[in-house]
Amino acid sequence: MAERPDTPIETLDEAAARAELVELAERIRAADLAYHRDDAPEISDADYDRLKRRNRAIEARFPHLRLADSPSDTVGAAPAEGFAKVVHARRMLSLGNAFSEDDVREFVAGIRKFLGLNESDALAFTAEPKIDGLSLSLRYEGGELKTAATRGDGSVGENVTANARTIDEIPVRIDGAPEILEVRGEVYMSHADFGALNDRQVESGGKTFANPRNAAAGSLRQLDAAITAARPLRFFAYAWGETSEPLAETQLAALDRLKGFGFAVNDRTSLCRSAGAMLEQYREIEQNRAELGYDIDGVVYKVDDLGLQARLGFRSTTPRWAIAHKFPAELAWTRLEAIDIQVGRTGALSPVARLKPVTVGGVVVSNATLHNEDYIAGRDSSGAQIRGGRDIREGDWVQVYRAGDVIPKVADVDLARRPETATPYVFPEICPRCGSDAIREPGDSVRRCTGGLICPAQAVERLKHFVSRAAFDIEGLGAKQVERFYFLGWIREPADIFSLESRDREGAKRLRPAEDLLASARREGEEGETAREAFADILGLDSFDHEAAIRQLDDLGRHPLAGQLGWGEKSAANLFAAIRDKQRIPLDRLVFSLGIRHIGEAAAKLLARAFGTWDALIEAVDAAAQDPAAYGDFLAIGGVGQVMATSLVTTLTQVEERASIDRLVAHLDIQAVAAPSGASTALTGKTVVFTGNLETMTRAEAKARAEAMGAKVAGSVSKRTDLVVAGPGAGSKAAKARDLGIETIDEDGWRALIGQA
Ligand code: IVH
């Protein structure tokens, strides 16, 4: 295929970007197969890198267009070849490890011996948390950040300067520093930021990270700094490389100077004057580990006196003056008290281990995931044995591990400690929440409840999804409130959210007289006496009882929010206003909010853009349910595959589901999504089908051009088709177009239409 020059990213419009992402994904996938599977590379490494770089750059500018199976996700980090190399002026070294208290005592004794110190000679060490991130060297010349480099092999690292400049905690200018100063430290991500990033990744259909360290590494090693800029990275300075003049006389004072230049240094750093004090500090840091808000994997001890450090020098890859005292692996054994089944939004039954609480890596763990029924049974999804085929049973003694901030997992089981009474776990085949059948489709490792909306677990999870940030995002109506409102019976399905206010007003109207009476009943005197009688009478109570009266009021089906929840009138009014505000909703948000399996935020956007309006989308869904050929309308959308299309069509044509969605839609003012190109063209709003061969451009390019001009490109001809472009070899589609009387043009006509004749 002839190369066309790349359109500058800044001038790409959405349609062109979307088309190019699809094309790039195809080309990268083909190149991967040729290289890895066929051992027969079809393009040079440089060209391959260029494709990946362009893909990332387009994704960074249009994150919502990122494909669910983006090639950016196929390799964890960008290929190292993509970064320029930096030769470190001073090697970036690693640290020796200590795993026990004895190791630490030996380290101290060894240093004393090396330096020839007497028992009575003072020797101080700093003790500071060992941050679990990735190390970075920042070179400042004349106070300006010149280069930022990863460690690489210690001698040569990768130049990530543009990326480092986007990190708030890395100053680009520092005052009062030596002419040359290399500051070294750790790039990391806090637990909170890591959680939020993964949530965003889930919402946007992107890849999630296993732990904060991976997230930090993946975010820093991006060929496009725009991606790094969008990631919440932080930096602790703890060391230095080349300096044109000494920073200080001690480690602690040097850290103070770094702090003075504007760097974050760890405030848990302390000075210890003996091995005993070092170990005490270790225990203190380990105990507080969970409260730090970021991952650490040990404590680093460094000789404080920089003169002594210089004397001690280095072994081949580690300094003699420092050591990392590692925390024990984050593993623990405990009793598996029970296996509970949680039911998610799509009905997935997830087994959760309820554990006798145990500390794993400084965090008390009482729940852990057991993945799925195969995992419990001791096999993987292909039926092969895991854990030597040992199954997991309630009552078992199990090994739990915590990797970073992710959900703890049950890793192993001790058969020697299995109670005699323990029986193999029988995974439920009916939903524990609603009693519907829970079935496992062939090829699916997950068993799912078939109860749909009648299942309270699914209903609540779906409501939570419905109000989530990327969906309706109703201020004041978060996961907690939705759950509460569901169990109060006020909101059972999304449509109920939008009638909450009118029902609240009705309820208030009904209750006001009774509440007035209740108020008078509470007053002393004759008036109160009469009111009490009247009140008891109305509510059918034998005699007036304040508590019972309140209960009765609640049972009257009232839900004036302010009264029921202890909310002020104002909070209720705010909530209603926030709900009203979201009655006008963009089509893509609506589609995403429905929580249809496989339809994430990105797919919802693709669908919304392709169909423009809710009616057009539903019409296509119904058509596909009638005639499988009409699936072509979905499959023609770049980024929408068979699995997504089938899920969409089956969900939206289920009778109760559809009725519930119709009830919702009746409350909404759905904003149509404008044709991508903005300005109207000859193709705006038209549905185009390409058939046969095109000789002067690829199908992908033709499609991109059509979409850039506001057309929707479909895969099959139907009465909704506006134009067919038929090249040589066109067959049944061209014939069908003729039968239906649809305008058909050849490639020359097409080129004329797009202004390339
Ligand atoms: S000092 C010459 N201090 O741990 C030694 N390293 O396992 C310079 N690390 O490569 C390193 N926290 O990436 C030092 N407070 C700390 C650290 C720390 C984390 C990392 C660093 C180093 C690795 C060695």
Q: What is the distance in A from the centroid of ligand 1 to the CA of 91? A: 13
State the amino acid at position 470 in one-letter form.
Answer: A
What separation in Å is there between the alpha carbon of 229 and the centre of ligand 1?
24
Is residue 314 in a domain?
yes
- Ligand 1, residue 93: give the atom nearest the CA: 2
CA distance 448 to 144: 57
- Rounded to the nearest angstrom, the distance between the alpha carbon of 182 and the centre of ligand 1 is 15
| Residue 524 CB contacts under 8 Å (≥ 6 apart), including other chains | none
Q: Given 3-state DSSP classes, what are the helix, strand and coil percentages for the chain, each rounded to the nearest 5?
A: 45, 20, 40
Give the position, in ligand 1's atom list, of the atom nearest the Cα of 269: 15
Within this chain, do residues 381 and 254 fall inside the same structural domain, yes or no? no
Centroid of ligand 1 to alpha carbon of 379 (angstroms): 39
Other CB atoms closer than 10 Å to residue 145's CB: what's the count?
18
Q: Are residues 693 and 653 in the same domain?
A: no
CATH number of the domain to which 383 belongs: 2.40.50.140
Residues 547-600: tens digit of each pLDDT:
776 666 665 545 666 565 666 677 888 899 999 999 999 999 999 999 998 898
Cα 282 to ligand 1 centre (Å): 16
Mutate to test the pocket of ligand 1, among 128, 150, 186 (most ligand atoms within 8 A of CB): 186
Find the 116 Cα to ligand 1 centroid distance in Å.
27
| Residues 6+ positions from 362 with CB-CB distance below 8 Å | 286, 287, 288, 289, 290, 327
Q: One-letter amino acid identity for 651?
A: T
Domain assignment present for 407: yes
Looking at residue 622, its pLDDT comes to 96
| Domain contains 561 | no
Residue range 153-173, pLDDT digits in tens: 888 899 999 999 999 999 999
Residues 108 and 254 in one domain: yes
- Say how many C-beta atoms besides its own lie within 10 A of residue 392's C-beta: 23
d(CA 620, CA 631): 8
Claim to verify: residue 232 and residue 362 sit in the same structural domain: no
Same domain, 296 and 345: no
The residue with tokens 């014939």 is 735
Q: Which of 326, 348, 375 is the last residue of a domain?
A: 326
User: Bridge-partner residues for 183, per DSSP?
Assistant: 138, 240
Q: Which ligand 1 atom is the nearest neighbour of the CA of 95?
A: 24
130, 582, 733, 736: the catalytic one is 130
Report yes or no on 711 lying in a domain. yes
Q: Please report the pLDDT score of residue 2 as a whole number.
A: 36
| Closest CA relative to residue 108, chosen from 282, 328, 323 | 323
- Ligand 1 atom at minimal distance to the Cα of residue 92: 2
Tokens matching residue 624: 């596909």
Instruction: Out of 272, 292, 326, pick the residue that ends a domain.
Output: 326
- Give residue for tokens 């893509």: 588
Domain harbouring 150, CATH code = 3.30.470.30
Boundary-marking domain end, from 439, 455, 486: 439
CA of residue 248 to ligand 1 center, whole Å: 19
Instruction: With beta carbons less than 8 A apart as the criterion, state whether 67 and 135 touch.
Output: no
Per residue in 444-474, is it b (16+ CB within 10 Å) or e — as a string? eebbbbebbbebbbbbbbbbbbbbbebbbbb
Q: Whose CA is nearest to atom 9 of ligand 1?
A: 130
Are 338 and 321 contained in the same domain? no
Q: Can you give the residue range of the structural domain that contains 363?
A: 330-439
pLDDT per residue as tens digits for the range 458-470: 999 999 999 998 8
The CATH number of the domain holding residue 646 is 1.10.150.20
Which residue lies with its CA nearest to atom 15 of ligand 1?
130
Quick one: 29 and 159 in the same domain? no
Ligand 1, atom 22: nearest CA belongs to which residue?
Answer: 94
Q: Is residue 487, in this structure, part of any structural domain at all?
A: no
Atom of ligand 1 nearest to the CA of 322: 5
79 belongs to a structural domain: no
Ligand 1: which of 88, 91, 95, 251 to mutate, judged by most atoms within 8 Å of the beta carbon? 95
Instruction: For 61-123, give the secondary structure using H, E and C.
Output: HCHHHCCCCCHHHCCCCCCHHHCCEEECCCCCCCCEEECCHHHHHHHHHHHHHHHCCCCCCCC
Enclosing H/E stretch for 749: helix 747-753
Ligand 1 geometric centre to CA of 94 (Å) = 7
CA angle 578, 205, 632 (to 5 degrees): 100
* CA of 130 relative to ligand 1 center, distance in Å: 6
Measured from the Cα of 266, ligand 1's closest atom is 15
- The protein residue with its alpha carbon nearest to ligand 1, atom 16, reads 130
| Tally of domains in the chain | 5
Query: Is 224 a domain residue?
Result: yes
Residue 527 lies in a domain: no
Judge if 181 and 90 occupy the same domain: yes
31-46: b or e for each residue (b if 16 or more CB lie within 10 Å)? beeeeeeeeeeebeee
Same domain, 267 and 353: no
Query: Are residues 166 and 228 in contact, defined by beta-carbon separation less than 8 angstroms?
Result: yes
Ligand 1 center from residue 195 Cα (angstroms): 25
Is the pLDDT at 648 greater than 50, yes or no? Answer: yes
Distance CA 217, CA 222 (A): 9
CATH number at residue 40: 1.10.287.610
Ligand 1 atom with the shortest distance to the CA of 135: 13
What mean pLDDT is predicted for residues 515-532?
72
Write the residue with the smallest CA distance to atom 21 of ligand 1: 135
Identify whether residues 215 and 283 lie together within a single domain.
yes
What CATH number is attached to the domain comprising 729? 3.40.50.10190
At residue 208, the pLDDT reads: 78
**pLDDT grade for 121, boundaries at 50, 70 and 90:** very high
Residue minimizing CA distance to atom 2 of ligand 1: 93
Pocket test for ligand 1, best of 99, 236, 238, 255 (most atoms within 8 A of CB): 238
Q: What is the pLDDT confidence band of residue 80, given thresholds at 50, 70 and 90?
A: very low
User: Higher confidence at residue 235 or residue 754?
Assistant: 235
Pocket lining for ligand 1, CB < 6 angstroms: 93-95, 128, 130-131, 135, 186, 238-239, 300, 319, 322, 324
Least confident of 18-27, 390-399, 613-622: 18-27
Q: Residue 706: which H helix or E strand, with range?
A: helix 699-708
State residue 198's pLDDT score. 87
By DSSP bridging, strand 723-726 and strand 687-691 are parallel
733: annotated active-site residue: no
- In whole angstroms, what is the distance from residue 438 CA to residue 630 CA? 31
Token representation of residue 405: 């901030």
Backbone dihedral region of 566: left (phi > 0), alpha (psi from -120 to 50 degrees) or beta? left
For residues 319 and 350, state if they share a domain.
no
Nearest to 704 by CA among 648, 631, 756: 756
pLDDT score, position 674: 64
Nearest protein CA to atom 18 of ligand 1, as residue? 130
Residue 404 one-letter amino acid: G
pLDDT band at 540, cuts 50/70/90? low
- Which atom of ligand 1 is the closest one to the Cα of 302? 1
**Residues 580, 501 contacting (CB under 8 angstroms):** yes
Probe ligand 1: pick from 91, 125, 132, 135, max atoms within 8 Å of CB?
135
Tokens of 343: 């039911």
Q: Ligand 1 mean position to 126 CA, how many Å? A: 13
Quote the mean pLDDT of the chain.
86
Quote the ligand 1 centre to 56 CA distance (angstroms): 31
Mean pLDDT of 318-326: 94
Q: Do residues 168 and 242 both lie within one domain?
A: yes
What's the sign of the alpha-carbon dihedral 484, 490, 495, 499?
negative
Q: Tell me if 562 sits within 8 A of 460, measured CB to CB.
A: no
Amino acid identity at 633: D
91, 97, 99, 130: which to mutate for ligand 1, most atoms within 8 A of CB? 130
Give pLDDT tens digits for 337-376. Answer: 999 999 999 899 999 999 999 888 657 889 999 999 999 9
Q: Confidence band (pLDDT; 50, 70, 90) for 627?
A: very high
Lowest mean pLDDT among 291-305, 315-329, 385-399, 460-474: 315-329
